């Protein structure tokens, strides 16, 4: 599945979450920010569903509209006014954002009182392999993975989709840079502490996630008995769903 198609499916899930969890049913009255929007596939999908959707990222497509704005780095600032959005979303973004002490208060700042942040993210203990590099167990080692572990799997032929033509040394160098500069795997306890500090109210609605998510694991779990067990497995070992609410 390409990224745009995946974002369409993710937007359908978030559309349901915005209605059923946040209780915002008039889509045209709901202003949404996609945090870490990339080329804007998610905000376009949400726009087609009827939302007033915007995006932001540390790099933005050249010549794009005012719907996508660049995040200021020093000092770190989401480029929208205080209390501007009803909902902030992110999809597989937080595991790349190495500055939670900066982005969490900024997300809270741009949310209206009573607004919701909704994050889909891989769990700290995601198995069987890190979902970007495909190296087994590397996310469990965060914040430090020895280079010999990366080299072992490169020598064994493990490559992600961008590394198929690379030798093992080039693959190790790419993975070393990616791990050191573009990954952060926080535990559930760490996310809980940050959420309490900056938002007040937060929860992990994993039963809802597994029942409605577009992912392959959720689809499999829906066919199995013991749904609460598979919700626990998803939160801890596959994809998790964190919801934060800005208290008034």
96-127 pLDDT per residue, tens: 999 999 999 999 999 999 999 999 999 999 99
- pLDDT of 89 reads 98
Examine the pLDDT at 65 and tell me if it is beyond 80.
Answer: no
Name the band, by pLDDT with cuts 50, 70 and 90, for residue 63: low
**pTM score, whole prediction:** 0.95
- pLDDT of 200 reads 87
C-alpha R_g of the chain = 18
User: For 92, phi and psi rounded to 5 degrees?
Assistant: 50, 50
Residue 33, CA distances (Å) to 119, 152, 179, 194, 236 in order? 12, 41, 27, 20, 26
- pLDDT of 205 reads 98
135-150 pLDDT per residue, tens: 999 999 999 999 999 9
- pLDDT of 175 reads 98
182-193 pLDDT per residue, tens: 999 999 999 999
- Dump strand ranges (E) for 107-238: 111-122, 200-203
Domains along the sequence of the chain with CATH: 3-124+185-246 (3.40.50.150), 138-182 (no CATH)
| C-beta separation of 54 from 73 below 8 A | no
């Amino acid at each position: 599945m390409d990224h745009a198609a995946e974002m369409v499916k993710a937007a359908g899930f978030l559309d349901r979450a915005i209605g059923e969890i946040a209780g915002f049913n008039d889509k045209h009255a709901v202003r949404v920010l996609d945090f870490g929007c990339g080329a804007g596939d998610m905000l376009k999908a949400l726009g087609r569903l009827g939302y007033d959707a915007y995006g932001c990222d540390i790099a933005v497509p050249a010549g794009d509209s005012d719907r996508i704005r660049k995040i200021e780095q020093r000092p770190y600032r989401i480029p929208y006014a205080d209390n501007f959005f009803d909902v902030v979303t992110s999809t597989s973004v937080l595991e790349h954002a190495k500055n939670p002490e900066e982005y969490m208060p900024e997300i809270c700042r741009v949310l209206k009182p009573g607004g919701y942040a909704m994050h889909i993210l891989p769990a700290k203990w995601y198995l069987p392999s890190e979902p970007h590099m495909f190296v087994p167990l590397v996310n469990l080692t965060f914040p430090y993975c020895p280079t010999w572990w990366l080299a072992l799997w490169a020598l064994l032929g493990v490559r992600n989709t961008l590394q198929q033509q690379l030798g093992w040394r080039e693959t190790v160098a790419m993975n070393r840079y990616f791990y050191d500069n573009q990954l952060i795997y926080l535990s559930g306890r760490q996310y809980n502490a940050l959420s309490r500090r900056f938002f007040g109210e937060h929860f992990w609605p994993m039963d809802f996630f597994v029942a409605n998510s577009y992912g392959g694991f959720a689809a499999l779990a829906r066919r199995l008995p013991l749904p609460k067990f598979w919700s626990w497995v998803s939160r801890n070992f596959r994809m998790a769903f964190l919801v934060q609410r800005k208290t008034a």
